[in-house]
């Protein structure tokens, strides 16, 4: 290695570099113990959303969030044990699905134009961004996927709300 070159992380049996594997293992250690608390907070948040959006929508989003979160943690645990690339990708995909389900009521609340609903929606989004920044400190790829999964539905809904708004 010549001066100025950095050492490249070694690929592991999963095909991911050692740095990524280390980040994923730290992420697993950080979020696995607080899974029940996170689900309780998500449940309370979506129950509050049911006061503004259709209760069936809040219940559907809660079910999707709960199932996707549970499955993502299962794949994260499997990755920690076996280092299989498919478990890593399943974790990322399921985490994105859980985040979309969680922010969907906030997206609907923003589209109502009601000040109280918009205020509550901003708390949802703020809480989600706090969770994502925690992930960002540990594993950037997972955090960026979560952030995208949160921003895209809100941005699309706001674009359509603004484009259809009457002057």
d(CA 61, CA 56): 8
Residue 140 tokens, joined: 């950037």
**Cβ of 19: how many Cβ atoms within 10 Å?**
13
Q: What is the pLDDT along the chain (167 residues), one digit of tens a residue?
A: 445 444 444 445 556 677 777 777 887 777 777 878 888 988 898 898 899 999 999 999 999 999 998 998 898 888 888 878 888 889 889 989 998 998 999 888 888 878 888 888 888 888 888 877 777 777 778 888 888 888 888 888 777 777 776 55
Q: What angle do CA 17, 19, 24 make, to 5 degrees?
A: 100
Q: What's the pTM?
A: 0.79
């Amino acid at each position: 290695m010549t001066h100025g070159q950095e050492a490249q992380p070694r690929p592991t049996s999963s095909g991911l570099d050692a740095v990524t594997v280390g980040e994923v293992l730290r992420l697993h250690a950080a979020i696995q113990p607080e899974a029940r608390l996170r689900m309780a907070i998500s449940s309370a948040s979506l129950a509050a959303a049911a006061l503004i959006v259709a209760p069936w929508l809040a219940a559907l989003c809660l079910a999707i969030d709960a199932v996707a979160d549970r499955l993502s943690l299962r794949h994260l645990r499997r990755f920690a044990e076996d280092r299989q690339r498919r478990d890593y990708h399943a974790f990322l995909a399921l985490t994105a699905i859980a985040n979309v389900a969680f922010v969907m009521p906030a997206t609907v609340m923003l589209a109502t134009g009601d000040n109280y609903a918009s205020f509550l929606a901003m708390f949802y989004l703020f809480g989600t961004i706090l969770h994502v920044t925690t992930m960002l400190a540990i594993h950037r790829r997972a955090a960026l996927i979560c952030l995208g999964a949160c921003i895209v539905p809100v941005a699309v809904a706001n674009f359509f709300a603004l484009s259809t708004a009457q002057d």
